[in-house]
Amino acid sequence: MAGALDVSENLMSLSHFSENDSVKTVLARRSWGSSRIPRDFDVEAIMFVVLGAVSERALQRIFPSLQRLYESFLIDQTKSVFVAVGLDNFKTDVFRVFLEERLPPSSKRREFVNKFTYVRADCTKGTELSKLPPSSGDRTLFFYSLPPSIRQDAVMRALNETPLMNSWTRLVLQGSDPQTYNVRDSTFLLSEEKLFRIDPFAGSDATRRLVALRFGNRILEPTWNRNHVRSVLFDFSLDVSASKAYPDETFLRDVFVDHIFSLIALVAMERPASRFGDDVRDAKAEVLKAIQTAKPERMVLGRSSINNHSHPTSTFATVVFDIDTNRWRGVPFICRVGKNMDRTRSEVKLLFRTAAGADALWRDQGAALKENELRIRVFPSESATLDLVSNVPGLDTQLKNQRSTLDFLSQAAPYVPDPFERLIYDAMRGRRANFVRKDALLEAFRAIEPALAHATSTTVVHLYSVGDRTGPLASDDLISRTVTGGSGPSSPSLSSLSAAASSSSPLKATSPQMQSIQTHVMHHHHRDCPWLANTDIGSEVWSHATDFSAAREMQLSLRLNFDQMRLLLLAFVREMDAGIKSRNKSECAEAPTIKMLETFVTKLPNGTEEGSFYGLDLGGTNFRVVRFELVRGQAAKKVQEVSYRIPDDCKHGSTSDVLFDFTADCVAQVAGGKGDDDGSSPAVFGFTFSFPTLQETLSTGRLITWTKGWTTHGVVNEEISGLFKAALVRKGIRGEVAALINDTVGTLAARARDNHDVRVGVILGTGTNAAFQDPSTGSVVNTEWGGFGSFYKVPALPMNVVDREIDKESPNPQEQLFEKMISGYYLGEICRRWLWRLYEAKELWQSATIRDDVAIGVRDAFSFDSRFTSDVEMDLSEGLDLIRDIEERVLGVAGSSVMDRLMVREVCRAVVERAARLTACAIAAVVHRINLPGTVVAVDGSLFEAHASFKQRLVRALDLLECHCALVLSKDGSGLGAALVAAAASRKD
């Protein structure tokens, strides 16, 4: 009769058959959604005892799973006995109400909870556990859900003393305590066949799926090894609500030992002799023996800001393991585990190497050629995706990584059992393959214990905010370094240069050539730079701050994580596109924030230029006039140079005549009234004017707007060469402007002469900007990226309260917002304002004196020049004496404590790190737009050249974004570059 039932019939209509085994079989089949019910389906009377009945774990996992099994008729409903044990003083009927309120509603919920008896007992005492009611048969299944403060070995001893103990009795154990297995006398411990150690996060489905994918597929099985796999990432996170069930003290140990090592074993093991029982457990234990013990330098520990009590433990860890087997030697197994994150999930990702020869075949596609990635989601919803390189339909070849999804759920049953439910069912049936065996457990302890010991003793714990996706920045950095490290260039020349470079200080490069080599090498080989020791901003110093403190506000407001960086990069790409489109007004309704100006520079110097040319440089602190002699095939020779500090009144408040008369006076010092040496022809100038200029021709252009704090009247909208030439005439100097260029164009030109892979010029100085040679037109574009985000049009630009203040009080509010967050003109001021906020919030300089008898000090805007951020970072002395000196001399602060000075250093670090990360996003976007392999970026400016840490931070951030370009210093891009562009323009090709 039961066999004839239609599966769409209402289950309730069958309830009166619940005593009938064949009906139960049908119901169980429906519930488990399989056309075949479990082969050994057989309902036996069992006594279920939950030790630690009111723990979050029991309430969230054990009782609901038992309820589902009960309602699915997989537990005998009439003869089974249910006992809840705890220290709370409940009467059974009160406990039942308590439990009912916490279980998911269902028609049988009340019936299920009414089966429970509550027993108040101390689980470490055999005499107390003897109060448990007798079992109806001889089968007792204990669930262990006691707090970490209770010793597992004591509980095992007590259980051994109860009359319930017999050859069938089993203990389902979650969270193993190493002390239990270290005890000298282990005779009282439960024997191994009684212990069912659970990986609470992976039910047998995930496990079976991994085994099926690995060993059942011809395309995966032969590639599952070091020759094809570059790295493996295990990513485990719990959101804030799921985190509550896991005490901080044991969280990392439980997840690593129970879950991560189970997954590592499944991914890394050799093929087991069979899918069953101890064959799988043997294969797992074997590979775990080969896992190398975690090393402190290959781990990052983190603490979420919610976890803030006096002896807080780490709630986050990224650890990189090596497995010393022929299959895996050299492949990093990266494990990232955290609680209080943005989501609950567990995933494994295998990153495969690029196909052999593919780089050569698609050389023109650059970064588009990605590696294959296989991603297996273990929970919450089981799935797998595979990224395959493919071609986008269209006229041209355009590679793209295409994601294919193996959607298990849609193929699966209407109801998929919770993994925990499956595990309980397995324990009831005595199936052991998915439980952790003692030898595997001990190997896992061995591999992770040093890291965990470090987690409780170390002070270097990086903070991350509650709800973060990837945890502390230092973890992002470790992962990116590990992933790229395996594939970086390893040619002997580069590694020997790297060794040479690392032996000298980053500030002491001997020659410009050496500097550029160092920069290039550093890009591929990270050196440990003391200023970068702690990339997660302020972690040690702020770790005592409360959630609402100004220090915490600063730390979070200046933070830029990997996801934000990626969003910014995309926004840059979009804005640059819009900038190009806006040249043709009809294609772009709104003004873009990156202008992408035409420069009319179509010829970059190629080494054949000859003659005498002047480079003029206006736009920074000094005005410079430099004369060069150019001889075909030879390096440019500087024959004369003068540099004059531009008086403040020329920049602010005065008129164009005052400014340009000043420049003409300076030129007169070098060029006099004559032209070239014999006086027969006028001097030829390449004029670098470092402001956004709408070029009309190569040699003429109008200022669009002032930047960097300049406000001189009568220049905006005027033609610049005209203003300059008028001043020359007023001073009686003969000369012609052959090229009017931006400093970024000069920077590009100065290095492009000897290296044709130089396609981008970047300025990181008082202001910031980039120019690049567009491969499709050959002409150079001045991006004016400093304007990115202007008028608050790009929400991805993470401006904070201080950025907004600075912008509001600037002469050009809402403009150049990106520049205001990164350039030398503003960095010092950003730091000063944060310092002042900390002081006002009574978190800094509380016992120091803020002197008011100094002419200018910490209260005054722009009193803290950006170069001091570098000096402050360089101070690694014990007493931070240089910082004290700067506090006294520059900020007018006397008598600070060492803690104050540490804070000052952290503020500078935070501000500079953010600036470097922002800059990396912009560079990566330009390199992405050019999309040619081997692109070299020429950079000029004090921030890049002279700052203690900026360059290294920038290189690391570019690596994080996987932007594979080399950076070279372009010294005197503005002077030399301008002369070279002027010379190239006169070339006859």
Residue number with CB closer to ligand BGC (251 or 772)? 772
Nearest-approach distance from CB 691 to ligand BGC, in angstroms: 5
Residue number with CB closer to ligand BGC (823 or 869)? 823
Question: Cα angle vertex 334, ends 332, 340, to 5°?
Answer: 175
Residue number with CB closer to ligand BGC (690 or 949)? 690
Residue number with CB closer to ligand BGC (538 or 767)? 767
- Cβ atoms of 69 and 424 within 8 Å: the answer is yes
Nearest-approach distance from CB 783 to ligand BGC, in angstroms: 9
Residue number with CB closer to ligand BGC (48 or 818)? 818
- Cβ atoms of 366 and 931 within 8 Å: the answer is yes
Residue number with CB closer to ligand BGC (5 or 694)? 694
Nearest-approach distance from CB 874 to ligand BGC, in angstroms: 25
Q: Which amino acid is at 70?
A: Y
Nearest-approach distance from CB 591 to ligand BGC, in angstroms: 16
In order, the DSSP letters of 132-164 are SPPPSSS-EEEEE---TTS-HHHHHHHHHTSTT
Nearest-approach distance from CB 776 to ligand BGC, in angstroms: 23
Nearest-approach distance from CB 212 to ligand BGC, in angstroms: 58
Nearest-approach distance from CB 653 to ligand BGC, in angstroms: 19
SS3 call for 510: coil
Other Cβ atoms within 10 Å of 402 Cβ, number = 12
CA distance to 631, 752, 948, 961, per residue, from 936 (Å): 25, 9, 22, 16
Distance separating alpha carbons of residues 710 and 812, to the nearest angstrom:
9
**What is the Cβ-side half-sphere exposure of residue 326, based on CA atoms within 13 angstroms?**
1
Residue number with CB closer to ligand BGC (156 or 922)? 922
Nearest-approach distance from CB 664 to ligand BGC, in angstroms: 22
The residues, any chain, with a CB within 8 Å of residue 686's CB and separated by 6 or more, are 613, 614, 615, 616, 737, 738, 739, 741, 746, 977, 978, 979, 980, 981, 982, 983
Nearest-approach distance from CB 558 to ligand BGC, in angstroms: 22
Give the interface with ligand BGC as residue ranges (CB under 6 A).
619, 690-692, 707-708, 742-744, 763, 765, 767-769, 784, 786, 819
Residue number with CB closer to ligand BGC (619 or 977)? 619
Residue number with CB closer to ligand BGC (160 or 814)? 814
Beta bridge mates, 338? 237, 316
Beta bridge mates, 402? 388
The residue with its CB nearest to ligand BGC is 767
- Cβ atoms of 695 and 598 within 8 Å: the answer is yes
Nearest-approach distance from CB 749 to ligand BGC, in angstroms: 14
User: Could you report how far apart the first and last alpha carbons of the chain are, in Å?
Assistant: 95
Return the structure tokens found at 85: 């044990």
Q: How far is CA 287 from the centre of its chain?
A: 30
**Cis previous bond, 380, omega within 30:** yes
Residue number with CB closer to ligand BGC (786 or 789)? 786
Which of 526, 486, 525 has its CA nearest to residue 332?
A: 486
Angle between helix 473-485 and 562-581 (nearest 10): 80
Residue number with CB closer to ligand BGC (305 or 783)? 783
Other Cβ atoms within 10 Å of 88 Cβ, number = 12
Residue number with CB closer to ligand BGC (701 or 735)? 701
Which of 846, 8, 954 has its CA nearest to residue 565?
A: 954
Distance separating alpha carbons of residues 340 and 174, to the nearest angstrom:
20
Nearest-approach distance from CB 620 to ligand BGC, in angstroms: 6
- Cβ atoms of 688 and 743 within 8 Å: the answer is yes
Nearest-approach distance from CB 760 to ligand BGC, in angstroms: 13
Return the structure tokens found at 454: 């470090």
- Give, as one character, the DSSP assignment of residue 866: T
